[in-house]
Structure 1
Amino acid sequence: MSEITYRGCKELLFQRMLMAVASSILVQIIFMSCVVLITNLNITSPLSWIEDTLAIITCFRMWCYFTVLATVIVLQGIICSKNYLNKPPYAETRFAMFYNLFTPHNFMVGTLYLTIGIVLVWLHLSLKGDEYNSLTTNCTTIYGTCLVEEYLFLIIGGLWTGIHYFIKMNIFGTQRLQFPIIPQSKFTQISRGIGLVLPVSMTGAIWPCLYYLIVYYFLGSYIRGIVVSMLFINVDNEPLDQMSKLLNISLIFHLWLYATLFTLTMNSMFLLFQVYLTEWMPFAIGQSVYTTSQPTITLSEALAMKKVPIVQYLGYLDLVTLAQKEKSRRANLFTLSQPGGHPYNWNCIIVKSLELINEFAKEIDIVCCCKQTLKKKPIETINYNCEHPYVYHMRNLASPAPPPVPAASNNTNNQQAFSSGKYIMEFIKTTRQCFINYLLSKPLIFYFFGTQYDAKINHLLNNGQPVIWAIDGLSSLAVASLTEDLYGIVQKDLPGIIDALVLLKQSLEKLHKMNMLSRKSYHDDKDIRQMLASLRAANRRSIYRIIIAFKEYIDGLNLEQPIKDQLQNFFVCKE
């Protein structure tokens, strides 16, 4: 990929991420103001309640806290943007999956979550102005400084919420950007998303609070002792790690409220990144040799951007959009390049699209074949019957070979040496494979180091959205070419398009019949099944679209007989 293309990607993604971070800061300020309004609730005097809330929100100290919160959100956007921009890693074994957890990026994300959990609780406790706003206070029964254990309880609760969220979303789960099925405005997506995220955050914050209450009941004395010994302070009140003290409705409400706010902060940041990064954008069909402006990313370059999947997704989204909705841009795609008179733009796009479809179908076939052979194939034994000139402890019943010609003795020796070396290498390779198969035959070793073909299928289907757009876009372009392609540049690639669609159909049917997704081992099993159903539906829809449009011309296309046999069910509408 050229340096210009990478620079264009950076500029495009930086603008969108900057807008997402700025919107997240605004949303967090609104959330923080709402929490201040709720925590200072005074039903008996509504006017003073509103006046006190406005005074807190508009004071200088509040805006200093806003600055701290904005800094943390910017760091969150910088660190977590890697999850949205880079290709998700694939772990072939459980050991590799466990090894991928201990990466510098995960360490930074975990540290960020812990920091946000503590900072959010600290900010809101500092704004309350009641007995929970400080870690220490003057003792009432003894002389000196004493610990406010409720403050410590809530601060450690924010730390616990960060740990819980990190384990839930980064170790036992992943967050993937989902493109909206129906294009909507940003405001509509954000308002609708917040409405869905809010109840999920409120109910999802209940479990970490319950876990934390249980943990603090058993370990609260150790935590309190460590803090007291480190700060050289005393304990004046009754310890908090007792059932009567922990069942404080006000304390539990504040713990749940801050856990909800943390979850809402994380989910709203992901929502804003999704809204801005998945917004459709038109790419240039091709660069003109006569333009002097700075080159931008073309559609063919976006389709080939495998290292930055979000740009590749946007490229295929633009492909299916222009194929179905934009006649003027299709005209640019169906034109010949000048000078030269070649279909350069179409060739670049068709090559990248067919490459994606064929590679996806090929990987599915490989995994299905490996899965079948894994069920049927016994442990391999060492094959000693390799071709070599020596016989060990065996009678030779064949007729004796004639003696070699003296002139060719050097060639014979070279062939014998080559056969001996080949046999030794084959013997070592086979022995090593047999040893590996023997180790993998042990259930415990196979559990950690055996290849997870179900995980491979899940990884492929999670990246199946651009394939859906590719087959929909190519079939729509092929249909539109009947009336818009003045030079007939699409017809030469029509057999290749049909072959790719039929081969993909066979691969998806094989995957569906093997029922490889019957075991619910992943939390996103529903999404994976839905993606498989969407792929099959899009594939059938694309083939029907081409068959209906080119029904009178199919016999004139250069198609192999197995492909024509597969198309018969589409002619009679039985698929």
Structure 2
Amino acid sequence: MDPVATKDLAFRKICTERFVSSIYYCLLQQYLLVTIFLLFINFSILHPINWIIGTVRLLVSFYPWIASVPLAIAVVFHGIVLAKSCLLETRYHSTYCLKLYRNLIQRSILLLTNGTIGCLTAWLYTRFLRDEYRLLLLPSVNDDAMILNDRFVYLIVSGVFGGCYFFLRDQPNPGAVDFPIILLPKVAQYWNNLSSVLTRSMRKSVVGMFIYMSFYYTFSSLFRQRLASIFGGVRLQQESTLYSFCSIVTDVRLLVYTWLFSALILSNINLMHVLFRIFLAEPQTFRIETSAFQATDEPLLADALAYKQIPIVQQLAAEDLFAIAESQSFDRRKQLFALTVPGGHPNNWRKVYDVCMKLIVDFTHELDQSIGGIELKPAPPMVLMGGVLRPTASMDKDRFLKKQYNQNFGIRSLSTPTLATPNGGTLQENQAKSEAKAESKAIIFAMALKRIPGYDYLFTESKSAKSYYLLSVQSQLIVKMIQSVVAIASRSIYEDTYGVLQNDLPCIVHTLLELKKVVDKIGSINLDVKKVDRNYIALKGAVKKSLYRFTTAFGPYIKHLVIEPEDIKALQAFINFREV
């Protein structure tokens, strides 16, 4: 089999195992939320024993398992869509319109699955309520005809609205994974998120319930009439839309059910994202040693670091490299410093080093190019003891003399319009005039388009858009690599018995200093770093911390390293602990 295909299958297998585990626990989560719902609706403070026994009897009965099958199918399908979203390669979109176009299909499918989960969750929960909230059709009191149950329709539509509304409002990114600094067991991570998610969902559902009321009042006639026409001879419970809406709003029990449905639907969707993040952030140990005598399908750490098709694989590899660098046990670092047999070459370190340096250099180059067209920050006004410096009489006199000199010698200012030429020009001049008019019309039309509110936001690429993308998407990976490479280099003084890193130390220093120059440029231009404040500060701090760590470890030996004079001069501030 092709080596590239083998590596691709190995990386996809790592992700697939995590996705399957996430979907499995998402299914178990549905029964946890059903338990919370049953405990709430069957609450009885006077008979607590009967309350708990009745809830447990319902849970262990056969009916809830059968009724939850449609919801389980929807959850599995939604989990597959989330998994595909996590597998997508992160790309740069120059304009917001292009970003919407590229993500339209993915976002539409996620919106559909969220609405389906909301609808089926509401339908499942209504199975445990009274007939006036559980049945779609009710028998008429006056005759044998069937009438449409407005309360049931209100609850089902609230589920669809809740799933779609909260997805459009929050816009969660399934591919964004935050790796915890202190790794806790999966159960502890889930329970820590469970209470906060439930509390936040209950608070948000209050506002969402009132928004849904206005939505239902606006479109209720459409829902009710369409459902009545589908079932043929079914009549409406209330012909008047206003009277039907008033009867719903005055039903306190129905409003409580609506709020509870919205809270549990929002909690369900958010907790599914929590489960995906927990399993995707689970540490993965990659193979370091390369040997011609070992035939194994385990992927190499260097290959995982260079694998850009699935971003989560690259992040897992960076986390594994960071764990190798900072671990108190040097067993895996010993594999990095080892020589190959036969041959005696430092291939293990060379592969990891080449990949890390290439990624850092490419990131530095792209970040430098992205901020090249951004203007510098304006200089602050000169302030004297009496306030801001104002133009003096001599400055006004010089300006007046320059203007008078230009007028006397016929030097026209660029701000004044040109004099009109007499008519009767040649054919070429007329063609040039017509082309100039066409160009001016095109310019006027383009300027008119730009005056439309939102045009620049949708169709114009901002000068700082690429910088925001690099700092918000790629900087986390670079931070881990910088810290890992410098940590390994610092520990190599005592652990690298063969000296495999010594020739690479000058290149590491030069690469870090070049990145520091680019990061320092960001502070001197009009780039709103507040949008990426966390990532920018993390990158800036990681570069300085790594340089301090390098100079602390190699301070006594700096003169013996083959480092460029400019780099040695730049390192003096770190050697003397003067760089802030």
TM-score (norm 1): 0.83
Q: Equivalent residues in 2 for 1:94-105 (5 A)?
A: 94-103=96-105, 105=106
Q: State whether structure 2 residue 249 is matched by structure 1 residue 246.
A: yes
- 1:341 matched to 2:344? The reply is yes
Note closer, same or farther for the CA distance 1:247–1:537 as it changes in structure 2 (3 Å cut): farther
Match of 1:19 among 18, 21, 32: 21
Residue equivalent to 2:197: 197
SS of equivalent to 2:543: helix
* Cα distance change of structure 1 residues 31 and 448 upon mapping to structure 2, 3 Å threshold: closer
Shift of 1:271: 0.7
The change in CA–CA distance for 1:94 and 1:162 in structure 2 (over 3 A counts) is same
Query: How big is the shift at 1:356?
Result: 1.3
SS at match of 1:132: helix
Most deviating of 79-88 and 490-499: 79-88
CA distance in 2, matches of 1:101, 1:113: 16
Moved more, 44-53 or 463-472: 44-53
Q: 1:558 aligns with which of 562, 565, 569?
A: 562
Partner SS state of residue 189, structure 2:
helix
- Name the structure 2 match of 1:316: 318
| 1:227-263 deviation line (CA, Å, top 9, x unaligned) | 2222231123575653464143211211111111111
What is the CA-CA distance between 1:513 and the residue it aligns to? 3.0
Residue number in structure 1 paired with 2:158: 157
In 1, are the aligned partners of 2:375 and 2:526 still within 8 Å (CA)?
A: no
Q: Indicate the residue corresponding to 1:90 in structure 2.
A: 92
State whether structure 2 residue 363 is matched by structure 1 residue 360. Answer: yes
Residues 3-25 of structure 1, C-alpha deviation per residue, up to 9 Å, x if partnerless?
Answer: 11111112211111111111221
**Residue 73 of structure 1: CA displacement?**
1.7
Residue 59 (structure 2) pairs with residue 48 (structure 1): no
SS at the partner of 1:181? coil
Matches for 1:144-543 after TM superposition, within 5 Å = 144-170=145-171, 176-232=176-232, 233-237=234-238, 241-243=244-246, 245-292=248-295, 294-325=296-327, 326-372=329-375, 439=446, 442-444=450-452, 446-463=456-473, 464-517=475-528, 525=531, 528-543=532-547
Partners of 2:92 and 2:372 lie apart in 1 by 19
Q: Distance in 2 between matches of 1:88 and 1:5?
A: 20
For residues 531-574 of structure 1, give each alpha carbon's deviation from its aligned partner in whole angstroms, at most 9, with x where no partner exists. 11111111111000000111122223333333223222112212
Q: CA deviation at 1:458?
A: 2.5
CA RMSD of aligned residues (A): 2.6
Aligned to 1:379: none
| Counterparts in 2 of 1:101 and 1:6: CA distance versus 1, 3 Å | closer
Counterpart for residue 389 of structure 2: none
Q: How far off is 1:270 after superposition?
A: 0.8
2:7 alignment counterpart: 5
User: What secondary structure, in the 3-state scheme, does the structure 2 residue paired with 1:146 have?
Assistant: strand
Aligned AA (2:369): I
Which residue identity does 1:147 align to in structure 2?
Answer: L
Which of 547, 568, 574 aligns to 1:570? It is: 574
Unpaired runs of 5+ residues, structure 1, are: 376-392, 394-430
Q: 1:478 & 1:115 partners in 2: Cα distance?
A: 53
User: Counterparts of 2:150 and 2:306 in 1: how far apart (Å)?
Assistant: 57
Equivalent pairs counted in the alignment come to 510
Distance 1:446 1:46, change over 3 A: closer
For 1:353 and 1:448, how far apart are their aligned partners in 2? 36
Distance 1:438 1:236, change over 3 A: closer
SS in 2 for 1:295: coil
Structure 2 residue identity aligned to 1:286: E
The residue identity in structure 1 corresponding to 2:198 is L
Do 1:547 and 1:571's aligned partners in 2 also have CA atoms closer than 8 Å?
yes
8 Å CA contact retained: 2:248, 2:254: no
- Change in 2 beyond 3 A, CA 1:452/1:65: farther
Distance change in 2, residues 1:437/1:532 (3 Å): farther
Q: Percent sequence identity over matched residues?
A: 27
Taking the aligned partners of 2:476 and 2:122, their CA distance within structure 1 comes to 39
Query: Separation in 1 of the partners of 2:496 and 2:444?
Result: 56
TM-superposition CA deviations, 1:158-200 (whole Å, max 9, x none): 1111221231244x87761111011221122111121222212
Please tell me the residue identity of whatever aligns with 1:357. I
Instruction: Go from structure 1 to structure 2 and tell me whether the alpha carbon gap of 1:332 and 1:95 turns closer, same or farther (over 3 Å shift).
Output: same
Question: Following TM superposition, by how much is the alpha carbon of 1:438 offset from its aligned partner in structure 2, in angstroms?
Answer: 9.0
C-alpha distance 183-236 of structure 1, shift in aligned 2 (>3 A): closer
Q: Deviation string for 1:356-396 (max 9, x for gaps)?
A: 11111112111111223999xxxxxxxxxxxxxxxxx9xxx
TM-score (normalised: structure 2): 0.83
Deviation at 1:443, TM superposition (A): 4.3
Q: CA deviation at 1:127?
A: 2.2
Matches of 1:173 and 1:25, distance apart in 2: 21
Distance 1:34 1:570 in 2: 57
Query: Would the alpha carbon gap of residues 443 and 356 (structure 1) be closer, same or farther in structure 2, given more than 3 Å must change?
Result: farther
Q: Is the CA contact (8 Å cut-off) linking 1:146 and 1:235 kept in structure 2?
A: yes
Q: CA deviation at 1:47?
A: 3.3
Distance 1:80 1:512 in 2: 37
- Aligned counterpart, 1:73: 75
Question: Structure 1 residues 216 and 70, CA, compared in 2 at 3 Å: closer, same or farther?
Answer: closer
> Is the 1:140–1:236 contact (alpha carbons within 8 Å) kept by the matching residues of 2?
no
1:400 is matched with none
Contact 1:305 1:311 in 2 (8 A): yes
CA distance in 2 between counterparts of 1:49 and 1:15 reads 40
The 1-side partners of 2:117 and 2:491 are apart by: 52
- Secondary structure, counterpart of 1:552 in structure 2: helix
Whether the aligned pair in 2 keeps the contact of 1:160 and 1:208 (CA below 8 Å) is no
**2:126 aligned with 1:115, yes or no?**
no
Q: How far, CA to CA, are the matches of 1:173 and 1:287 in structure 2?
A: 36
Looking at structure 2, the residues matched to 481 and 142 of structure 1 have their Cα atoms a distance apart, in angstroms, of 90
Q: Which amino acid aligns with 2:209?
A: C
Checking the alignment, whether the CA contact within 8 Å between 1:280 and 1:317 is kept in structure 2 is yes
Q: Give the conservation status (yes or no) of the 8 Å contact 2:119–2:159.
A: yes
Taking a change above 3 Å as real, the CA distance of residues 451 and 122 of structure 1, as seen in their structure-2 partners, is: same
